[in-house]
Amino acid sequence: MAKLLTPSEYVRGILSGDRLLLARAITLVESTLPAHRALAQEVMRQVLPHTGRSARIGITGVPGVGKSTFIEAFGAHLLQGGPERRLAVLTIDPTSRISGGSILGDKTRMDALARHSRAFIRPSPAGLSLGGVAARTREAMLLCEAAGFDWIVVETVGVGQSETAVHDMCDLFMLLLLPGAGDELQGIKRGIVEMADLVAVNKADGPNAEPARLAAQHYRSALHFFPKKENDWAPEVLTCSALDRTGLEEVWSVVQRYLALARSNGSFDERRARQRRQWFTESLLNGLHDWFFALPHIRKRLGEMETAVAEGSVSPFWAAEELLQKTVFDR
């Protein structure tokens, strides 16, 4: 990591829209070293009043559905719409932990967007659990907002629990689908379609145009059977081609309609308030987890207990209770 700065140096840089300092602040936030965490917390505390003024869009879909192609095309469309618009793209990729390399993380993704002066792209931090990635991504999102990015796209692959994590940090959740393949083939888990505010069947071009239209029809009628969302929004299903850049205007107009409705009926603020409460609870649980496993007398006993539990000589429940008791008594 580059040399550490003082909190106010980071904050001044971020608030002035300095992308290099923004990137360095995100790296700081991703660090797990206690000294870095303390500095990161102070930076977060100072930028907090400058956050929140953005629209946060979550995008998911199986690898190969065209997420990066779509974000590149959609991003270009969005940025063309006004010289004041700025877009940050963050990714949540649970595979970056497992493989070191990741499904989302190769450098060639979103080339044009990466070079755009009003765009900022940041891949997932590697080496963290999904909970850790999600927590760091939320903080990165807030830092981007403080740096003046008024559109945030959070992208994830349809594996693990990452869709839920992204859904829980966005104002609008969008699902990209392939034409002509059933849910199972696409690896779409039950419940993901239900979470979507907007579904787009991508690759609606060439011979796939008709299958895409049929798939959209199928999902449109399927979505009818779900209970209406609490914010009164009826999810929309569209087709588009990220490659040919068609259907993007329609996607954009649904996004705007959704945001206008959510802002006018109060559901936008309610969803954010709910998410902040949830982040608080999760941070608390993560903190408890880390604290517990870092306690020296727990670390000392943990190995013995694991062995005893594996051998069957003590019950797992008794062993857990025993260690939990030890956090308070009998050090």
10: which residues sit within 8 A by CB, 6+ positions away?
Answer: 21, 24, 25, 28, 43
Do 279 and 138 contact (CB within 8 A), yes or no?
Answer: yes
Closer to ligand GDP at the Cβ: 137 or 139? 137
Q: Any long-range contacts for 267-276 (C-beta under 8 Å, 24+ apart)?
A: 267/230, 267/231, 267/232, 267/233, 268/171, 270/231, 271/171, 271/231, 272/52, 272/171, 275/168, 275/169
At residue 5, φ and ψ (nearest 5 deg) are -110, 180
DSSP three-state, residue 105: coil
Q: Which two tokens stand for residue 289?
A: 């987890």
Closer to ligand GDP at the Cβ: 137 or 241? 241
- Which residue has its beta carbon closest to ligand GDP? 66
CB of 256 to ligand GDP, least distance (A): 22
Closer to ligand GDP at the Cβ: 92 or 242? 242
CB of 40 to ligand GDP, least distance (A): 29
Closer to ligand GDP at the Cβ: 63 or 316? 63
* Residue 132: closest CA among 37, 4, 14, 24: 37
CB of 87 to ligand GDP, least distance (A): 17
CB of 95 to ligand GDP, least distance (A): 12
Q: Which two tokens stand for residue 188?
A: 């779409």
Closer to ligand GDP at the Cβ: 67 or 167? 67
- Name the site residues for ligand GDP (rule: CB under 6 A): 61, 63-69, 202-203, 205, 241-243
* Whole-angstrom distance, CA of residue 327 vs CA of residue 306: 17
Closer to ligand GDP at the Cβ: 22 or 113? 113
CB of 323 to ligand GDP, least distance (A): 42
Angle at the Cα of 274 (from 273 to 278), degrees rounded to 5?
A: 115
Closer to ligand GDP at the Cβ: 231 or 246? 246
Q: Where are the beta strands (DSSP E) in 125-247?
A: 151-157, 172-177, 198-201, 236-239
CB of 54 to ligand GDP, least distance (A): 23
DSSP 8-state assignment for residue 154: E
CB of 177 to ligand GDP, least distance (A): 11
